[in-house]
Structure formats: C-alpha cells, structure tokens
Amino acid sequence: MAALGSHVTPVTAVRLGKMRDQLEAGMDIYRGLAGVNVDTSKICSIDGERGELIYRGYDIRELADRASFEEVAYLLWNGALPTREQLDAFQDQLRPTFQLPGEVLEILAALPKGTNPMAALRTGVSALGALDPHADGTDEANVHRIGTQLMGQVPAIVAAFQRLQAGQQPIAPDPNLSIAGNFLRMVNGEEPSEAATRVMDVALVLHAEHGSNASTFVSRSTASSLTDVYSAITAGIGSLKGPLHGGANFGVMQALESIGSVEGVEAYVLDTLGKEGGRVMGFGHRVYRVMDPRAIILKDVSQKLAEESGDSKWFEMSLEMERVMEREMSAKGKQVAPNVDFFSASVYRMLGFEKETYTPIFAVSRISGWMAHLYEQYADNRLMRPRLVYEGEKGKTFTPIDQRG
Ligand code: CMC
C-alpha cells in the first residue's frame, strides 16, 4: 500500500511550534480539550456549523449512498478511492482475517456470562497483541499488516462473543461475503439478505471515521509513545465503550425499551432533563451545532426499515423523542440535536441486533478510522503530553509515619 503519513510542512511546523510555545507558557485551560488543535490531519473534515462531514475529500452523503465499507476503509487508509483491481486486492487481503486464533476463542469462551461485549472486545484485541510475535513494530509495513488483520478480527470477536454468551458455537466466516455480510452471518447464523447487508454497509460507512473524537484521540495519544498498534486500539475500544461516546447507542435503546410506547416519551424526556446533569442519550455533540449529517441519513434508513417491516414502534418513538427534545432545547436556547447514535439504535433493532451489540458494531466500523489515524500518527509522531494546571498544596513539611496523628 502507498505511504500514508501527513507530513507537516516547514511553515506548518513553525506555526505549530509557536502555538505550542504559547500554550506551554500560559495557564489557559481547555477543559475536555475543546477547541484545541493537537496536530494536522488529512483524513477527515467536520464543519459543525453547516453539518458537513468529509472523508478524504468526499462528502459522507455520497459515500453512504454509493460506496461500500471496504472502499471507504481503503479510501481512509490510502487517501484515494480504489480502482477495481485495488479493491479486489484489498478484499483478498481482508478475506482470511476473519479467522481468529484458537487461543482468543478460548479466552472469549472463558469470560463470565454477562460480560460487557466491549470489555470482551478489548480483551480479545489485547490477546491478539499478546499472541503476535511482531506486535511491537511501528514501521509502516507492520502497522498495515496489523491494521488489515484487525479489520476482520474485530467483527469476528464481536460475533463470536455474542454467540458464545448465548451458548452457541461461533460461525466460520464465508470468504465470499463482504465485511457487512460476514458480520451479519457470523452473528445470526444465517445468510444475510441483500437488503440487510446494504443497510449494515451504510451503517459501517457512517461510523468509520470522525476526526479527533475521544476514542481516536486516545488511540493516537497512546500510539504517540511509540507503543504497539494493539495497545492503541485497545485504548480506543475502552474509550468508545463510554456512555458519552459509542456507548450512547446502547443508552438510546435502553431508554426506548424502558419507555415502551410513544405516549411515554414526553414524560421520560422531561423527567431526564429535570434531573441535575440529566442527559438524553443520542443527543448533543461537541462539534455539531446542527443535526449530525450521519443522523439525517440514519433517520431516513430507520424510516424505510420501519415501513418495510411494518414495525414502526422504534422509529415512531425516536421521532417523538426528537420532537420533544427539539422543543425543550430550543426553549433553553441550546443547540442539542440528534447525533449518530440516536437513529442507529432503531436501525440496529430492526436489523435484529441485541442492544448489547450496538456499541461493538461501532467498533467494527471505527477500526478503519482508528487505523487511518495510527498510520498518520506513526508516520510523523510527536509524543502527546499536555499539562494540568496544579491547584494543590505546596511547601508541606514531612512528618515521619509514627508521628502522624
Ligand atoms: N441531553 C440533555 N442536555 C444536553 C445533552 C443531552 N444529550 N447534550 C448536551 N446537553 C446540554 C448540556 O446540559 C449543556 O447545558 P449547560 O450549558 O446548561 O450545562 C449543553 O447542552 C452543552 O453540553 P456539554 O456537555 O457541555 O457539551 P459537550 O460538548 O461537553 O458534550 C456530549 C457533548 C456528546 C458529551 C453531550 O452532548 C452528551 O452527553 N450527549 C449524550 C451522550 C451521547 O449521545 N453521546 C454520543 C456523542 S456523538 C457520537 C459519539 O461520539 O459516539
């Protein structure tokens, strides 16, 4: 594969250097790193005011409409859409990667019933790292080797774990299927329909990449010590698991299930917002001031699935939640709109997934984005090491342990 790194030009380096000096000299605090640029990147652009998301120059709406997840992963990693030959070669590389080492399957099988599937995925990826004798190389070829492996191994772990928890045997991959198709088959144990595979593919495209989000930043930051890819990805999975990030899609379905009907939505939203720090999952975003473009596409997908299946309950409840939140947030002068996790919950439900699998599906897709960022990070690394403004005490006198009261 082609070299991928974003090489900082001398002019940019001077600018970054100046900015760095200013930050290091000052006591300014950017809580949650809001508004801080940690580096340059050529992978993804987000315009939060206009609701625009671009992967390597291509609008997300066009990619969701016209590209497969494999094409998008190739694009993110290489900076250009593949030719037919390049895509075939990439798929040939991906095909064997769904096969998990027996040791990893044994570890997954040994996890107690009720283990969080994201904890299982984190454990599985960590085990893959321990089993890889060449895990530590951070040169371009080795990072690519591991990234390509993980594209199949991550969905394979998610699918195998779900089946093991249900007392079922993991299913062997079908080399003729796409990542979306194989994932559906390995979870459900039956040949996926073309329609379901296409919806899955769209969901994977939409979740593939999103700039310096929490898990991607954590992955890049972890890699910046020049530790191995598995450690960086394991850190990213741990971050994605949280309810303020990828865990929100699970939270959305948990809320919808607990509400149970369209009539109960308003009371739920008002009750949640009435609590100190109350958050309605699937709403709000650090970057978007308007509706997340991914949520707009997923809303459409959710509506179509509801119409086709005749089961509109989850979509109708989601619509009502959007309506009440819109009213309540506007009344408070806040710009809090649905994010990617909101309508993905009803989409995954209608595809037949258990809610515990929703956040792992996010990881099945985001592994492509995390890897794109790791290629960039390793290619032009600088250790990430921000500071904290110390507010604790100073000048205390040490008292020997026997004299402490
Ligand atoms: N429900 C109710 N109020 C909200 C919500 C929400 N979901 N999101 C933001 N607000 C309010 C918040 O109360 C705050 O009000 P105030 O200024 O009066 O304190 C204001 O909007 C700004 O919120 P913030 O928490 O300061 O914004 P942030 O940029 O730090 O947080 C967020 C962004 C995503 C953590 C937050 O919107 C949130 O907690 N959302 C719910 C969890 C969620 O859906 N996460 C998925 C994020 S997008 C996909 C992903 O990354 O996985």
Q: Assess if residue 116 is contained within a domain.
A: yes
- Indicate if 144 belongs to the active site: no
Q: Residue 296, Cβ neighbours under 10 Å: how many?
A: 16
Q: Assess if residue 391 is contained within a domain.
A: no
Cα gap 63→293, rounded to integer Å: 12
Which candidate in 144, 285, 292, 373 is catalytic? Answer: 285
Do 252 and 346 lie in a common domain? yes
Cβ 270 under 6 angstroms from ligand 1 = no
CATH number of the domain where residue 279 is located: 1.10.230.10
Do 237 and 252 lie in a common domain? no
Strand locations in 214-268, DSSP E? none
Do 124 and 208 lie in a common domain? yes
Cα gap 346→318, rounded to integer Å: 8
Do 320 and 373 lie in a common domain? no
Do 332 and 373 lie in a common domain? no
List CB contacts of 292: < 8 A, sequence separation 6 or more.
51, 53, 285, 337, 338, 339, 340
Q: Assess if residue 76 is contained within a domain.
A: yes
Q: Assess if residue 225 is contained within a domain.
A: yes
Do 258 and 344 lie in a common domain? yes
How many domains does the chain contain in total? Answer: 2
Mean pLDDT of 359-379: 98
SS (H, E, C) 26-45: CCCCCHHHCCCCCCCCCCEE
Q: Does 2 or 256 have the greater pLDDT score?
A: 256
Q: Assess if residue 375 is contained within a domain.
A: yes
- Indicate if 7 belongs to the active site: no
Do 175 and 293 lie in a common domain? no
CA distances to 61, 159, 167, 186, 254 from 113, rounded to whole Å, are 39, 15, 10, 20, 19
Bridge partners, 47 (sequence order): 52
Mean pLDDT of 241-246: 98
Q: Range of 286's domain?
A: 248-350
Instruction: Give the pLDDT score at 8.
Output: 42
Do 83 and 114 lie in a common domain? yes
Instruction: Give the pLDDT score at 2.
Output: 37
Do 344 and 319 lie in a common domain? yes
pLDDT digits (tens, 9 = 90+) for 193-232: 999 999 999 999 999 999 999 999 999 999 999 999 999 9
H-run or E-run covering 362:
helix 358-379
Whether residue 249 contacts residue 341, with contact meaning beta carbons closer than 8 Å, is answered with yes
Q: Assess if residue 331 is contained within a domain.
A: yes
Q: Assess if residue 121 is contained within a domain.
A: yes
Q: Assess if residue 394 is contained within a domain.
A: no
Cα gap 338→315, rounded to integer Å: 13
Whether residue 232 contacts residue 215, with contact meaning beta carbons closer than 8 Å, is answered with no
Mean pLDDT of 115-124: 98
Do 76 and 208 lie in a common domain? yes
> Residue 16: which pLDDT band, with cuts at 50, 70 and 90?
low
Cβ 213 under 6 angstroms from ligand 1 = yes
Do 329 and 375 lie in a common domain? no
Closest protein CA for atom 41 of ligand 1: 281
- Indicate if 373 belongs to the active site: no
Cα(354) to centroid(ligand 1), Å: 25
Cα gap 366→349, rounded to integer Å: 20
CATH number of the domain where residue 96 is located: 1.10.580.10
Do 95 and 229 lie in a common domain? yes
